[in-house]
C-alpha cells in the first residue's frame, strides 16, 4: 500500500497463525522453500508444521487458528470485529497472518485499544486488509506485484534477498491449507491507509489549490465519504499553469457550479489503479465525460496530463497525481 505520507504509528490487531520459518537458503532454493520443498537437502517443514497442515486441511481458517492454541489475539480480534462468521464462510480466502510475535512489536496498549467496542470499524478494516479473496498459493504470490484485499485497498507484494515481502512484512511460512482457503504467515502487522482522500491531500502539502477548490465547490463532504473514488489530482503547480486569474475566478461563489463540473472531471467512481486505467483505455468520470489513457514515451497520460505519481491509497479511494488540470472540451 502506498500513501502520500508515511502512515502514523496506528493501533492494529490482525489475523495471526502459524510458527516462524526463515528464508535462509540460497536464492536458487528460495522459491522451493516457500512452497514447502527442501533447501540444501533438508526439509523446511517441521513435524509440527506437517501436523498443522494435516489439521488445517480438515478445518476452516477460524478452526485452524483455534486448534493451534497460540493465537489468542486473533480469536479476540475476530470476535470483537464480528468477523468469525465471515471467515468461517465458504470463501475461499487467502490470509496473510501475522504471528503473535508480530503483535508484540506493536506499541503498548494497541491491541487493548482496538478491542474496545468504539473501535470496531477500525479493527475490522485492519483485519480485512490481511485477507484477499480467492485462494492464492505461494507460487502465485511470488508472481504478483500486489493483491486487492477485502478492505478494498491494495497490498504490495515484492521479492528481495530474504524472500517475499507483503507491504512491510516478510512472509515466513506459506501454503497452510484450510477447508475455505489458505494462510501465509507474516512477521509484522500490515496497515491499511486510514486517511481519506482529503486527508492525503492536506498532509501532502502540494494540493492546497485543489483542496480550496473542492471546498468552494461543495464537494468536501462527498470526497470525505465512503466512496470509493479515484481522484486524478492536479498539483498546485498544475493550477498555477492555468491562465492568470483563472483559479481566482473559479473560486468565486457565482462560479461554484462551473468549478464543480471541472472538479468532477477529475473523479472516477470506484478504486482504479493506474495499470487498470491504462488497460481500460477510457473511464467515465463523475461528470459523465470520459477520460482517455495513453502510454506516451514511457509516461502514462490522462487526457494529455501526465501521471507523475500513481496509486496513492486512501481509506476511501486512490489518488493519481497529474501535472495539468483537465478542462472540458
Domains of the chain: total: 2
pLDDT score, position 242: 96
pLDDT score, position 70: 66
Q: Which domain holds residue 44?
A: 27-186
Looking at the structure, do residues 161 and 40 belong to the same domain, yes or no?
yes
Q: What is the dihedral of CA 272, 276, 277, 281, to 10 degrees?
A: -150
The residue with greater pLDDT, 308 or 33, is 308
Look at residue 148 and tell me whether its pLDDT is greater than 70.
Answer: yes
In tens, the pLDDT along 251-298 reads 999 999 999 999 999 999 999 999 999 999 999 999 999 999 999 999
DSSP secondary structure code for residue 253 in this structure = G
Cell numbers found for residue 302: 490522462
In tens, the pLDDT along 157-177 reads 999 888 899 999 999 889 888
Q: Is residue 22 part of a domain?
A: no
Looking at the structure, do residues 138 and 261 belong to the same domain, yes or no?
no
Looking at the structure, do residues 103 and 249 belong to the same domain, yes or no?
no
Q: Is residue 4 part of a domain?
A: no
Looking at the structure, do residues 171 and 138 belong to the same domain, yes or no?
yes
Look at residue 134 and tell me whether its pLDDT is greater than 90.
Answer: yes
Looking at the structure, do residues 297 and 206 belong to the same domain, yes or no?
yes
Q: Is residue 3 part of a domain?
A: no
pLDDT score, position 58: 67
Looking at the structure, do residues 166 and 231 belong to the same domain, yes or no?
no
Cell numbers found for residue 274: 493506474
Looking at the structure, do residues 138 and 216 belong to the same domain, yes or no?
no
Rounded CA separation 173/302 (Å): 41
In tens, the pLDDT along 10-48 reads 333 333 333 333 333 333 333 333 333 333 333 333 334
Q: Is residue 191 part of a domain?
A: no
**Helix or strand holding residue 239 (H, E):** helix 236-240
Looking at the structure, do residues 126 and 229 belong to the same domain, yes or no?
no
Q: Is residue 93 part of a domain?
A: yes
User: How far is residue 118 from each of residues 114, 135, 137, 191, 322, measured CA to CA in Å?
Assistant: 8, 32, 35, 19, 38
Q: Is residue 15 part of a domain?
A: no
Q: Mean pLDDT over all residues of the chain?
A: 83
Place of cell 495513453: 294
In tens, the pLDDT along 192-250 reads 999 999 999 999 889 999 999 999 999 999 999 989 999 999 999 999 999 999 999 99
User: pTM (2 decimals)?
Assistant: 0.76
β strands within 121-262, DSSP E: 131-133, 146-148, 154-160, 163-166, 169-178, 181-186, 229-234
Amino acid at each position: 500500500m502506498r500513501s502520500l505520507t508515511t502512515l502514523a504509528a496506528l493501533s492494529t490487531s490482525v489475523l495471526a497463525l502459524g510458527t516462524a520459518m526463515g528464508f535462509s537458503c540460497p536464492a536458487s532454493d528460495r522459491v522451493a522453500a516457500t512452497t514447502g520443498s527442501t533447501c540444501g537437502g533438508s526439509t523446511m517443514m517441521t513435524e509440527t508444521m506437517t501436523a498443522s497442515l494435516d489439521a488445517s486441511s480438515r478445518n476452516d481458517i477460524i478452526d485452524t487458528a483455534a486448534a493451534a492454541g497460540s493465537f489468542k489475539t486473533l480469536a479476540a480480534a475476530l470476535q470483537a470485529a464480528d468477523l468469525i462468521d465471515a471467515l468461517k464462510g465458504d470463501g475461499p480466502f487467502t490470509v496473510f497472518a501475522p504471528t503473535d510475535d508480530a503483535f508484540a512489536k506493536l506499541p503498548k496498549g494497541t491491541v487493548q485499544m482496538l478491542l474496545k467496542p468504539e473501535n470496531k470499524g477500525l479493527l475490522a478494516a485492519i483485519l480485512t486488509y490481511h485477507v484477499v479473496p480467492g485462494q492464492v498459493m505461494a507460487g502465485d504470490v511470488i508472481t504478483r506485484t500486489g493483491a486487492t484485499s477485502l478492505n478494498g485497498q491494495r497490498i504490495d507484494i515484492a521479492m528481495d534477498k530474504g524472500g517475499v515481502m507483503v507491504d512491510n512484512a516478510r512472509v515466513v511460512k506459506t501454503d497452510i491449507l484450510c477447508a475455505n482457503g489458505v494462510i501465509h504467515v507474516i512477521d509484522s502487522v500490515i496497515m491499511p491507509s486510514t486517511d481519506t482522500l482529503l486527508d492525503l491531500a492536506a498532509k501532502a502539502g502540494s494540493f492546497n489549490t485543489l483542496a480550496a477548490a473542492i471546498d468552494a465547490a461543495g464537494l468536501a463532504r462527498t470526497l470525505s465519504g465512503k466512496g470509493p473514488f479515484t481522484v486524478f489530482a492536479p498539483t498546485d503547480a498544475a493550477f498555477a499553469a492555468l491562465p492568470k486569474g483563472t483559479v481566482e475566478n473559479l473560486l468565486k461563489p457565482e462560479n461554484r457550479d462551473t468549478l464543480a463540473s471541472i472538479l468532477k472531471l477529475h473523479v472516477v467512481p470506484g478504486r482504479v489503479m493506474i495499470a487498470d486505467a491504462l488497460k481500460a483505455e477510457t473511464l467515465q468520470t463523475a461528470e459523465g465525460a470520459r477520460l482517455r489513457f495513453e502510454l506516451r514515451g514511457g509516461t502514462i497520460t490522462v487526457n494529455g496530463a501526465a501521471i507523475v505519481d500513481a496509486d496513492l491509497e486512501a481509506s476511501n479511494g486512490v489518488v493519481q497525481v497529474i501535472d495539468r488540470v483537465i478542462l472540458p472540451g
